[in-house]
């Protein structure tokens, strides 16, 4: 596994809990000390799996190749940042390793994500007999698998898909992001995008919003965003007439975001800055990226868990033609408690809802259930064994048939 952040910590705990499937395991990241700390916490919690750790810069294909050739992993679980997807895929191809991630590639200098960069590796993975599993977190990930499950069991034709993501938690900080702040702010400040009648429709950032009612939570203002799973789902389910993604934000969060943007702190280009040298001997002109600097001063998402109350609720609201030829609606979702996630893994619910599916995807691969050479989005695999594991591994799902979808 590459990365030692919030999501990686959860995935590592869950891997240690499933030591019958994962018999050998290594955590490698930019800072080895963070990997060692995860192992220490896992062993303190009573899990016995022997876990190796290593330092690696995942931007550097040669370093990755040296590590993979030495450790010889069957599967590389990429839980670093989206910037590293392609270097890790290159190293996997060079060393004969299979691959899994939770977020699609983004270039560092452009806030833009799409699958084309990773889909371009299809033929190479296929020819090498290697499997790459893309987008195996919650959204993308579980939401895509929910859609595949609905298509397999409940619908002849899915026509309308709305993915709804609510975080009704309170971490008692004025402003913090729930996963890597740089990636999170880049995602939210982009233009909105959704699929309708065979084409993409663009909106201004956070332009479209409405109250949606979430189970056990109630109504929350939900904003239409562009989200990566829509891109593959409309291709894999061509009967979809409209596909959208909604996420809740509180007024306090949006106010801070507006200020951050207005004062230039969400910029991703380099600015020159005159900084005093640490030894006091003078000054140096350095280049900094404001959003990266902001990340350094914001609360670390990994430290939010302790006082986090409330829960997340993420699911798919689907309308279409059922197996009986009549129109039906279907809502499948999971609610996850931040406190329960923290008590189990030391991390909050957003890391938990991403790290658990990453482990399950790896389990699917290791058990030979999701093992098809090529580059695949998760909805291309059989959803049933994955759905079964969600119930066993801490993310149980619930269904509402023929309810009011509000959308």
Residues that bind ligand NDP (CB under 6 A): 2-8, 29-31, 34, 56-59, 79-82, 84, 102-103, 137-141, 179-180, 183, 301-302, 354
Nearer to ligand NDP, 33 or 284 (CB): 33
Nearer to ligand NDP, 82 or 374 (CB): 82
- The rounded distance, in Å, linking the Cα atoms of 24 and 312 is 32
- The rounded distance, in Å, linking the Cα atoms of 138 and 136 is 7
The answer to whether the CB of 35 falls within 8 A of the CB of 54 is yes
Whether the ω angle into residue 383 lies within 30 degrees of 0, i.e. cis, is no
Nearer to ligand NDP, 140 or 374 (CB): 140
What is the nearest approach in angstroms of ligand NDP to the Cβ of residue 277?
Answer: 23
What is the nearest approach in angstroms of ligand NDP to the Cβ of residue 60?
Answer: 8
What is the nearest approach in angstroms of ligand NDP to the Cβ of residue 267?
Answer: 19
Nearer to ligand NDP, 18 or 377 (CB): 377
Residue tagged 């977020």 (tokens): 103
Over the chain, what HEC string results? CECCCHHHHHHHHHHHHCCCCCCCEEEEECCHHHHHHHHHHHHHCCCCCCEEEEECCCCCHHHHHHHHHHHCCCEEEECCCHHHHHHHHHHHHHHCCEEEECCCCCCCCCCCCCCHHHHCCHHHHHHCCCEEEECCECCCEHHHHHHHHHHHHCEEEEEEEEEEEEECCECCCCCCCCCCHHHHHHHHCCCEEEEECCEEEEECCCCCEEEEEECCCEEEEEEEECCCHHHHHHHHCCCCCEEEEEEECCHHHHHHHHHHHHCCCCCCCCEEEEEECCCCCCEEEEEECHHHHHHHHCCCHHHCHHHCECEEEEEEEEEEEECCCCEEEEEEEEEEEHHHHHHHHCCCHHHHHHHHHHHHHHHHHHCCCCCCCEEEEHHHCCHHHHHHHHHHCCCCCEEEECCCCCC
What is the nearest approach in angstroms of ligand NDP to the Cβ of residue 342?
Answer: 15
Nearer to ligand NDP, 141 or 383 (CB): 141
247 is written with which tokens?
């996420």
Nearer to ligand NDP, 173 or 241 (CB): 173
What is the nearest approach in angstroms of ligand NDP to the Cβ of residue 350?
Answer: 6
What is the nearest approach in angstroms of ligand NDP to the Cβ of residue 76?
Answer: 12
Burial of residue 20, with CB atoms counted within 10 A of its CB: 0-12 exposed, 13-18 middle, 19 or more buried: exposed
What is the nearest approach in angstroms of ligand NDP to the Cβ of residue 373?
Answer: 23
What is the nearest approach in angstroms of ligand NDP to the Cβ of residue 1?
Answer: 10
What is the nearest approach in angstroms of ligand NDP to the Cβ of residue 20?
Answer: 26
The answer to whether the CB of 127 falls within 8 A of the CB of 375 is no
Nearer to ligand NDP, 73 or 301 (CB): 301
Nearer to ligand NDP, 57 or 382 (CB): 57
What is the nearest approach in angstroms of ligand NDP to the Cβ of residue 269?
Answer: 19
Nearer to ligand NDP, 5 or 290 (CB): 5
Number of residue whose CB is nearest ligand NDP:
5
Nearer to ligand NDP, 206 or 298 (CB): 298
Nearer to ligand NDP, 82 or 320 (CB): 82
């Amino acid at each position: 596994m590459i990365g030692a952040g919030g999501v990686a910590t959860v995935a590592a705990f869950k891997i240690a809990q499933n030591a019958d499937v994962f018999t050998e395991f290594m955590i490698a990241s930019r800072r080895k000390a963070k990997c060692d700390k995860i192992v220490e916490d896992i062993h303190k919690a009573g899990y016995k799996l022997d876990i190796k750790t290593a330092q690696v810069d995942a931007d550097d294909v040669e370093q990755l190749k040296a590590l993979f050739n030495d450790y010889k992993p069957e599967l590389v679980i990429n839980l670093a940042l989206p910037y590293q997807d392609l270097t890790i895929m290159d190293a996997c191809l060079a060393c004969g390793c299979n691959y899994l991630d939770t977020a699609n590639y983004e270039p560092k200098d452009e806030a833009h994500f799409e699958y084309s960069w990773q889909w371009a590796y299809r033929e190479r993975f296929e020819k090498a007999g290697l499997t790459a599993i893309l987008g195996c977190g919650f959204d993308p990930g579980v939401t895509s698998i929910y859609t595949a499950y609905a298509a397999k069991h409940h619908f002849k034709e899915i026509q309308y898909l709305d993915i709804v993501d609510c975080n009704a938690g309170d971490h008692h900080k004025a402003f913090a992001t729930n996963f890597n702040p740089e990636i999170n702010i880049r995602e939210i400040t982009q233009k909105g995008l959704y699929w309708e009648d065979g084409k993409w429709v663009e909106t201004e950032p956070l332009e479209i919003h409405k109250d949606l009612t979430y189970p056990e939570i109630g109504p929350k203002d939900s904003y239409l965003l562009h989200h990566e799973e829509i891109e593959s789902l409309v291709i894999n389910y061509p009967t979809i007439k409209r596909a959208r993604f909604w996420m809740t934000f509180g007024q306090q969060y949006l106010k801070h975001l507006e200020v951050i943007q207005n004062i230039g702190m969400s910029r991703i280009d380099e600015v020159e800055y005159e900084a005093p040298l640490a030894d006091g001997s003078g000054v140096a002109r350095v280049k900094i990226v404001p959003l990266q600097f902001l990340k350094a001063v914001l609360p670390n998402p990994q430290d939010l868990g302790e006082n986090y109350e409330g829960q997340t609720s993420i699911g798919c609201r689907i309308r279409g033609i059922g197996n009986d030829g009549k129109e039906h609606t279907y809502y499948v979702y999971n609610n996850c408690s931040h406190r329960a996630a923290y008590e189990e893994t030391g991390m909050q619910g957003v890391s938990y809802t991403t790290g658990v599916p990453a482990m399950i995807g790896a389990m699917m691969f290791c058990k030979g259930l999701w093992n098809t050479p090529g580059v695949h989005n998760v909805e291309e695999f059989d959803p049933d064994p994955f759905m079964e594991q969600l119930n066993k591994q801490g993310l149980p799902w619930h269904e509402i048939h023929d309810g009011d979808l509000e959308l």
